[in-house]
Structure 1
């Protein structure tokens, strides 16, 4: 595993803040649960302070533009007003850019005090050339979509994706090229390889409906 260069953002913030190592959460905030997420991109476990953070990890794993990411990368101690803030994620993109991300449940996002505080940090960081993106759960969590993606991600964990091209070829030869998942299984493809192809979008399905063996897939 290649670690993310934390110093890039830390150096940009040197004029307004000091960054220190963040302690891994042992228990979540009230109403939250510490969750260990098995990250393929990081080749390591990611310690999440809540299930919402773990759900967002699934989005980061699925994004083609994300190279690596780290949860709670450091704590920022602002010199002005003695504010302290630990971002949820530091994301390294394939184009070399880095971004900090904060995720909140919809209730917290609507809290004026919480949102006002985070918005202040967004502005301070922007003045130093750093991006902090503030996201409500509604931007990425779906009642059916998210459980589907979690199921596909964990189902695909043992696959290396080598069958994805062959699965696409088979569907291309079908007329029409929409077939149920059990059609792929009947043609000898392992469930983990089908899950891999679906999660990483080599093939597609309607992830806004509950997935089952009769769900249609296509290229």
Structure 2
């Protein structure tokens, strides 16, 4: 219902904060809800940067007349990108945080794609909404994990694969990401019977005990789920 239809009584209970403080806060919230253009957001952020010589989410949120830090992150994809637009480079490396945000979006996409492909080859798959554990054909369970690429000082690459020991899946699909951590490089189908530890480390070149489980795609996994109709004998 719109406010004019509400039935209310002012001062029915003693307020937690003084009325003037409450209405001041309401005014700030309404001001922050104002729809700014990208140019207006950048101009406000640039002025704030020039006043402080530094930027952070806390500085943005505490500044009068500024949209929230969450608004900047939503509009520009991340706070780091908003900072870059005004020429500010944070002291700490925020690239790691941006990669984390991307991986949180990428993981459900890969899980959903795996579900679709298994269904297309005639298999059945049940997905636990809390853990993303897949039960294929009610025969075996699959857990998909993303392995971030870490570049060492010597130029070599390393991937750390963490097994979800609490779920104890029959197969862990480790998706190795490329140098930019933006796309899949290859896949390792690791059975629990052969890998009982909590984590393993992969390099560019690994021993046969690892390489025999490496695949360029997930076609082998889909093949494990494939169901073929058998004609009834006469």
Task: Work out which of the two has the higher radius of gyration on C-alpha atoms and give 1 or 2.
Answer: 2
Name the TM-score, length of structure 1 as normaliser.
0.26
Higher relative contact order (CA 8 A, sep 6+): 1
Name the TM-score, length of structure 2 as normaliser.
0.25
